[in-house]
Amino acid sequence: MGDTNLIPIRQALEGDQKAYEEILNRFRGQIFNLIYRMVRNKIEAEDLTQETFIKAFNALATFNAEYAFSTWLYKIAVNNCIDHFRKKRLKTYPMDNPIQAKDGELQREFPDTTFQGPESGLLSREKSLQIQEAIDSLPEKYKTAIVLRHSEDQSYEEIADQLKIPIGTVKVRIFRAREMLKKRLKDQLRP
């Protein structure tokens, strides 16, 4: 099926370094873009891309040639990102609470954005950042589904195949992700 005939998997399994390089060169950009859209950090995305290929090459013998190689590789990349998020669980603070620092408490000040002056172009970028931050704050399973659907333009079927879950589950996750995003962004994005 799919792209398997064009990929030198057998040669790579036999230790052919050129075959490994060919696989890496062919898919590296796609995998990096997918991971970057999920983690939103170039250095982390580069590290996770490298880890993804290491995991894929180590598991190459388990690849089932009946499926598209790219789908198998995307699944490894997505799982790698999910593992990364689990390990990285960031401690978050409510926006209005002070942060305890070595030199005492730090209060955050937020600008009044109700004035529409010459910096209105910055507000548009700020809205984009707010949307991305809202996506980043979603639980992993919802974030993954929404990124694959809207950033990667994948169909429900492709997402279901990649995540090895039923299409109904994909639809529910995307629906719930959209609802969570609407709720979080409702007040923030008022003009």
Show the domain range for 144. Answer: 120-191
Establish if 18 belongs to a structural domain: yes
Going by C-alpha positions, the residue among 65, 47, 52 that lies closest to residue 7 is 65
Q: What is the pLDDT of residue 93?
A: 47
Q: Do both 50 and 127 map to the same domain?
A: no
**Are residue 85 and residue 13 in the same domain, yes or no?**
yes
Q: Please indicate, yes or no, if residue 49 is contained in any of the structural domains.
A: yes
Residues 77 and 132 in one domain: no
**What CATH number is given to the structural domain containing 137?**
1.10.10.10
Residues 60-74 have a mean pLDDT of 87
Q: pLDDT tens across 91-133, in order?
A: 444 455 555 555 555 554 544 444 454 455 555 667 777 778 8
Query: pLDDT tens, 4-55?
Result: 556 788 888 888 889 888 999 999 999 999 999 988 899 999 999 999 999 9
What is the tally of structural domains in the chain?
2
pTM of the model: 0.55
Same domain, residue pair 84 and 3? yes
